[in-house]
Amino acid sequence: MNGNVPAQSDAIAFATTHWSVVLTAQGRSPAADAALEKLCRTYWWPLYGFVRRNGYAPEEAQDLTQAFFALLLERRDLDVVRREKGRLRSYLLVSLKNFLAKARRRELTVKRGEGKVLVPLGELLARESADSEPTDSLTADRIYERCWALMLLEQVSTRLEGEYRSVGNVKLFDCLQELLSNDPGRRSQAVIATELGMTESAVKQAFYRLRQRYRELVRYEIAQTVAVPGDVEDEVRHFVSVLQG
């Protein structure tokens, strides 16, 4: 076992993101469809949480969230969004609020079994039952922001684990990820070093590199959700404030 981390061939930079692909798409294309699919999977849970906090039962909230995305994709509303308004997090929440305010539930609720299920409902329900985050004191907007931040962290963790797995360092990743937690019972770097057959100094260096890569990937994922580079730093600061709150 060693402390090597995967080569970072994909430098973190503002390039063609799934949000910019969606914004600039004319009609349908494989790239735009892939971006829209990722958009739906990423934002389903935060938007669903917002709907639930507005007083809808789970089945109603599932149907309304499904209907919102179906309408969004059918109308290709994202094609006409001005780039200056291109913070995906804000745009989708405003759009959902308008949808809920204007929609007549009887007409816009999608019945189960009709149309394409953008995110499997079983996956949604499993996530809700496993969610122990206290929400009684949180507003609907705050729940949306919290879910958004946690989903982004989940994406970063999954990608980072994949990088370590690709070079056979999954055990190292698992141990280093434990150091990221606030669990008072977490193992020390010295204990992890002994378990992995590494020096404590090597573990410390490996943990430093993991944290650096973690920050890079957070920035990368956030860059995927803004239309212009100047918005990235503001979104990163907002992301940090949501987690700290």
Number of structural domains the chain divides into:
1
For residue 3, tell me if it sits in a domain: no
- What pLDDT does 10 receive? 42
- What pLDDT does 229 receive? 76
Mean per-residue pLDDT, 11-33:
56
pLDDT in tens, 154-199: 889 999 999 999 999 999 999 999 998 878 888 999 999 999 999 9
Burial of 71 (0-12, 13-18, 19+ CB in 10 A): middle
- The model carries a pTM of 0.73
For residue 121, tell me if it sits in a domain: yes
State both tokens at 133. Answer: 């985050």
Task: Judge whether residue 213 has pLDDT over 50.
Answer: yes
Query: What number of other Cβ atoms are within 10 A of residue 139's Cβ?
Result: 11
Query: What number of other Cβ atoms are within 10 A of residue 80's Cβ?
Result: 8
For residue 6, tell me if it sits in a domain: no
Range of the domain at 67: 18-244
Confidence class for position 22, pLDDT limits 50, 70, 90:
low
For residue 8, tell me if it sits in a domain: no
For residue 49, tell me if it sits in a domain: yes
- What pLDDT does 47 receive? 93
Task: Judge whether residue 115 has pLDDT over 60.
Answer: no
Mean per-residue pLDDT, 236-240:
92
For residue 215, tell me if it sits in a domain: yes
pLDDT in tens, 32-76: 677 677 777 788 889 999 999 988 888 888 888 888 887 777 776
Mean per-residue pLDDT, 1-27:
50
Highest average pLDDT, of 11-25, 149-163, 192-206, 229-243, comes from 192-206
State both tokens at 32. Answer: 């735009």
For residue 163, tell me if it sits in a domain: yes
Instruction: Report the SS3 class of residue 87.
Output: strand
Task: Judge whether residue 238 has pLDDT over 60.
Answer: yes
Mean per-residue pLDDT, 81-108:
72
Site of tokens 């735009």: 32
Confidence class for position 113, pLDDT limits 50, 70, 90:
very low
Average pLDDT, the chain: 77
pLDDT in tens, 119-145: 555 555 555 544 544 455 789 999 999
Burial of 127 (0-12, 13-18, 19+ CB in 10 A): middle
Is residue 172 within 8 Å of residue 1, measured between CB atoms? yes
For residue 57, tell me if it sits in a domain: yes
- What pLDDT does 223 receive? 85
Task: Judge whether residue 81 has pLDDT over 70.
Answer: no
In the chain, the percentage of residues whose pLDDT exceeds 90 is: 32
